[in-house]
A and B are shown apart, each in its own frame.
Chain A
Amino acid sequence: MRTNFLHVLSFLTLPILLPVGASAATLTVGLASEPTSTDPHYHSFTPNNGLARSLYGALVTTDANQKTVPDLATAWSVEGDNVWTFNLRKGVKFSNGVPFTAKDVIFTFCRVRNNPQAISDYFGNPVTNFVKVETPDDHTVRITTKVPEPLLPERMAEMAILSAGIVKHGEIAFDLANGCGVTGEWPTLARFNSGEDAIGTGPFKLTKYTKGAGVELARNENYWGEKPAWEKVTLLPIPNAGPRLAGLLAGNYDLVENPAARDVKQLEGDPRFGVTIRPSNRVIFLQMDVSKDQSPSVVTQNGTNPFKDERVRRAISMAIDRDTIVKRIMDGAAAPASQFVPETMFGAQPNPEPLIYDPEGAKKLLAEAGYPNGFKVTFAATNDRYINDSQVAQAIAQYLSRVGIQADVDAMTASIFFTRRSKSEFVLSMGGWGSTTGGASSFLQQFVATLDKDRGVGRSNYGGWSDPAFDAVILKAIATVDETKRAELLREAGKLALQKLPDIPIHFESTIWAFRKGIQFEGRMDQYTLPALAKAVK
């Protein structure tokens, strides 16, 4: 333990040290959670997606408020409900100097369908809806879909465009059955992480990626847009909020993600630093296994799975005091959630019925459901992914214990958590989801809809929830092009989900960024920490 005491000592003296400030053209960022790969199609995970925005371009991108804006496509249009045309930007070059053409777009569509290492089918899925993709010329892409996909531009914003030059190929054409003309080996995770295949059109290029030790970027001098102020960027994973902030105060980092909310006041009064706080679209929620009859993770008197009972799920929601969690654990930098997306998002409930705190009512419901003495359950959570995740999980366990449910918190590192969750190993877990695409439909179609790989819905429905009435509404909603009608259908679907509570919303995170003097950083709703957005100011 001696080293730990030294840590603590050095730590206490840090605030009195003056910030030394890194040299002008380099930016060092302290990340709360590290990217797990530089392959942009590996895992739809906020740190990965954020890194992908630095390295790669996409046809379309989203701004800080999640509006779709042009990127590699300058304009797009839809004819009828099914034919989309994207006009590509001219004169764009990849970071290795190779010009960007429509072939690269086709290659990317093929690659996401030939990506066996991916954590889920998230990136590959939109392409399953493509009947044909034509390229009338080098700078036009025309996509014909099987069923109407109103969110196609938004889905394209998530699909980083790779260079066809990273594989051996003949004539590239959208022909999935024959490998699209690719003759060599498809790109692998290892080749991305070594930097060999991490070639994009983003503002930065990859210099070095070392798992656990950070990512080094260099300015992409071939970037078509306004070049960032930083020649070199280092992204360092510092999972603990205290040391992250200490590093900023000591001048080791220029910009840090999510310092503890309780420390913000201290920073705001200090002329050497700046702070940005933005509400995010990320909901923290509980997911329960509602399909298994039994599980070793839950022990009840009659040996059944209590979460199959709607009353138990309702009781759990009633047992949790969201306001206190927001106030005492999140220090106010969050908002209690009564639905899965913030009210301001497309298709959200305008006035959701609040999920109230009523421990007595919860006890009654549990007794009614046949669990007057509660039960014992292992409660899985992350300890390095969401803001204060392990603290929030413990507070929830505390509230559950008050109504008789003994929840043993098993807090683990994110990579283990996500792998185990994807195998449906958890009967009760706490996750988070940032709805970056399609407003309310994002959460509902991923987590609540019955799994249907062809339609690309229910891929994160690890608890096995299945409600035909809900499915009918959500499937209709995501195929409706008319926005007013779609919003209405989404509100209906959201209401159905909240009635049965297969997932229980807890709160919406707010994201905080702190930075040294000399930097201006505009935050984003999707929580991405994009170094290109850090402006150098006097």
Chain B
Amino acid sequence: MTKPRPIDPTLVPPLVETPQRRFNLRRIKRRPNMKTALIALVVILAAGLLLPFAAPQNPYDLSTFSVMDNRLPPGERSLDGLTVWLGTDSQGRDMVSAILYGMRVSLLVGLAATSLALSIGVTVGLLAAMFGGRIDALLMRLVDFILGFPSILVALVLLAVIGRGVDKVIIAIVVVQWATYARIMRAAAMVERRKEYVEAAENLGYPSWRIMFRHLLPNSIGSVLVVATIYVAHAITLEATLSFLGVGVPVTQPSLGLLVASGFEFLMSGEYWISLFPGLALLVLIFSLNLVGDRLREALDSRRS
């Protein structure tokens, strides 16, 4: 963990009485590996946004590349005169473009799935904490049911039924992830639920939805948000795994996981670049997301301020 730094006594407040929920950006900036992770993430996000300009080719438009150029090693020139810095895949796609587009898919899936799952999970958790009793029991048994199966299995079965595509993958990830948020949200909200201010609000006759979203939500969302940052990376990994297994995105629109999978069979022939570079890109993406999420947790963690 972190090394204790020498403490300047003048900077230490005499007594901390209220929990600080201040987002401490300075602390994030001070860690060098943190800086790298942040930069990597910003670059990836920027590349994803500026994609049509950043990529030399649209790898999802089959007419922009040719099978005549397939499996070119890094640095070769394609028939159109494009230098393929990271080589081409088995269909003749420029790997640089394929990786950039694949990253965009990964980010899209990660962010969309997480925010959807978060909204559903938070609502369910709040409902369970607010009303307790049978509603709580029912919702939590449902959560137990979902959490009882390995997430990859649930997603596989689901995709086998509903078919493939980016939207379907997002749905599958939401289905396996919302339960975690619901469980954490419920625990946090239950604690708040018993506090006096909630009781006071109830006695004042406020409607339940108001108590749920105006009182319970802001005071218990912190821990869920921390989990969410880590789960973005988890969602991306899940998408890559599902695509690797061949049930995720369509083969003509490869994501990072699918690129790794399609390059797999060429490794034996020494054509390493089809698998290796998308794999590295995925590694960097997940690693920086996890690192940022980790530090974000420390920054948000009131007990350590």
Contact = CB atoms under 8 A, between A and B. Distances in A.
A329 B91 CA distance: 8
Contacts, number: 95
B105 to A, nearest CB: 15
B246 A263 contact: no
A530 B272 CA distance: 33
Nearest to B164: A410
A535 interface: no
A263 B250 contact: no
Interface stretch (A221-229, A334-342, A388-396): A388-396
B250 to A, nearest CB: 6
B251 A12 contact: no
Contacts of A406: 62
Contacts of B264: 8, 240, 242-243
Interface string A1-42: 100110010011001000000000000000000000000000
A379 to B, nearest CB: 9
Most chain-A Cβ atoms within 10 A of its Cβ — which of B61, B70, B246, B252? Answer: B252
Contact of B68 (A324, A397, A407): A324
Interface in A360-407: 383, 390-391, 393-395, 397-402, 406-407
A246 B268 contact: yes
Interface stretch (B121-129, B177-185, B192-200, B275-283): B275-283
A408 B165 CA distance: 11
Interface of A is mostly: helix
Nearest to B254: A394
A401 B70 contact: no
Most A C-beta atoms less than 10 A away, residue of B244, B250, B264, B283: B264
B91 A391 contact: yes
A286 interface: no
Contact of A1 (B92, B237, B251): B237
A411 interface: yes
Contacts of A397: 62, 252
B250 A398 contact: no
Contact of B267 (A8, A390, A398, A402): A8
B289 to A, nearest CB: 13
A411 B91 contact: no
Contacts of B275: 8
A497 interface: no
B62 A328 contact: no
Contact of A262 (B63, B250, B269, B279): B269
Contacts of A12: 267, 272
A242 B246 contact: no
Give the interface SS of chain B, mostly helix, strand, loop or mixed: helix
Contact of A411 (B240, B251, B276): B251
A199 B19 CA distance: 76
Given A1-B237, A1-B257, A260 B67 contact: no
A410 B244 CA distance: 15
Contacts of A390: 251
Interface string B82-107: 00000000111000000000000000
Interface string B55-75: 000000111011110100000
B67 A398 contact: yes
Contact of B268 (A1, A245, A400, A401): A245
Contacts of A410: 164, 250
Interface in B277-299: 279, 282-283, 286
Contacts of B246: 383, 411, 413
A325 to B, nearest CB: 7
7 closest cross-chain pairs (CB), A and B: A401-B62, A242-B265, A401-B63, A398-B62, A242-B268, A395-B67, A262-B269
Interface of B: 61-63, 65-68, 70, 90-92, 164, 237, 240-241, 244, 246, 250-252, 257, 260, 264-269, 272, 275-276, 279, 282-283, 286
Interface of A: 1, 4-5, 8, 11-12, 15, 240-243, 245-246, 260, 262-263, 266, 324-325, 328-329, 383, 390-391, 393-395, 397-402, 406-411, 413
23 contacts: A1-B240, A1-B257, A1-B260, A4-B241, A4-B244, A5-B283, A12-B272, A240-B265, A260-B265, A262-B269, A263-B269, A266-B269, A328-B68, A328-B70, A383-B251, A391-B90, A391-B91, A393-B251, A395-B91, A398-B66, A409-B250, A409-B251, A410-B250
Given A328-B67, A328-B68, 5 more contacts: A8-B275, A263-B268, A328-B70, A391-B90, A398-B67
